[in-house]
Homo-oligomer: A and B are copies of this chain.
Amino acid sequence: MTDERPIGVFDSGVGGLTVLRALRELLPGESTVYLGDTARVPYGTRSAATVEKYALNNARTLLQQADLKALVVACNTATAVALPALRAALRIPVVGVIEPGARAAMAECRGGTIVVLGTAGTVRSEAYPRALHALGHKGDVFARACPLLVPLVEEGWLSGDIPRLVVEEYLRGMPSDTDTVVMGCTHYPLLRPVLRAALPERVALVDGAAATATEVAGLLAERGLARAAPGPLHRLLVTDAPEQLARLSRTFLGVDVPAGDVELVDVLMTA
């Protein structure tokens, strides 16, 4: 038995392509539809009420475009703020990036402090501390908003003095017993070498993209929703500037996507 329906994935913009990439790599038989809400990016600086509204708009838009079997919220801010509302509103399974990220951190942590780097919205939501403590973390959690990192990545400044100094500034004041740092934003894995170099060797550096893909795979298998047939279909949708996603596709998705293959859609404004 096989379920041909695609997996929906949405993000505030292009960052979620790192999660899409992990999904495609782990589940090469599955079709996907990705929506980047590039007309309203970024979510990280916005209020919870606004992010929740946007997340529901995005889910409705994806469901209007395709009959989905599951929805992945590939945006830390939207996951932090809107996951309960999405689960209440939709009849398909909804997977966020924070619980998998927290589980990946727990697998590395040896009882010290876990540092979470994220957007202002993700930090303000306290979703990571909540998830980590629910998973049994006994140490401290230290969350730091890093608003410069997303524009740094989108500018392509991934090495040299500027990203090094910015990362050092954001890691300043990190507790001395820190043993795990979570990249709590889908853009940050592109800065992995810079973060790695700025951290002591004993500190583990984790991101939730691979862990999220694993969680989706388990969920599909468990519910008999997996697809085994060849020839999966992939669609990329944005609410603004398709050429921008195309330009960044090599960096974020690992493949070159022609601008003509990115579809421009209007977001549904009804939540």
A46–B162 touching, CB < 8 Å: no
| A50 contact from B150, B151, B240, Cβ within 8 A | B240
Q: Provide the residues of chain B in CB contact with A46, threshold 8 Å.
A: 38-39, 240-241
| Interchain CB contact (< 8 A) of A148 among B38, B40, B152, B161 | B152
Residues in B whose Cβ lies below 8 Å from that of A38 = 46
Report B-chain residues with C-beta under 8 Å of the C-beta of A152: 148
Return the CB mask of A158-188 against B: 1 if under 8 Å, else 0: 0001100110010000000000000000000
A132-165 vs B, CB cutoff 8 Å, 1 = contact: the mask equals 0000000000000001101110110100011001
CA distance A150 to B241 in the complex (A): 20
Q: Which residues of B contact A148 (CB under 8 A)?
A: 148, 151-152, 155, 157
> Which of A39, A169, A269 is most buried by chain B, counting CB atoms within 10 A of its CB?
A39
The smallest beta-carbon distance between A259 and chain B, in angstroms, is 12
Q: Which residues of B are found within 8 Å of A41, using beta-carbon distances? A: 45
Alpha-carbon gap, A53 to B195, bound state (A): 39
Q: Say which residue of B45, B50, B151, B161 sits within 8 Å of A147 (CB atoms).
A: B151
Taking the complex as formed, is A65 at the interface, i.e. its CB lies under 8 A from any CB of chain B? no
Asked if A251 is at the interface (CB within 8 A of a chain B CB), the reply is no
23 A-B residue pairings within 8 Å (CB atoms): A38-B46, A39-B40, A39-B46, A39-B50, A40-B40, A41-B45, A45-B241, A46-B240, A46-B241, A47-B240, A47-B241, A50-B240, A50-B241, A147-B155, A148-B148, A148-B152, A148-B155, A150-B151, A161-B161, A162-B166, A162-B169, A165-B165, A269-B269
A residues in contact (CB < 8 Å) with B: 38-41, 45-47, 50, 147-148, 150-152, 154-155, 157, 161-162, 165-166, 169, 240-241, 244, 269
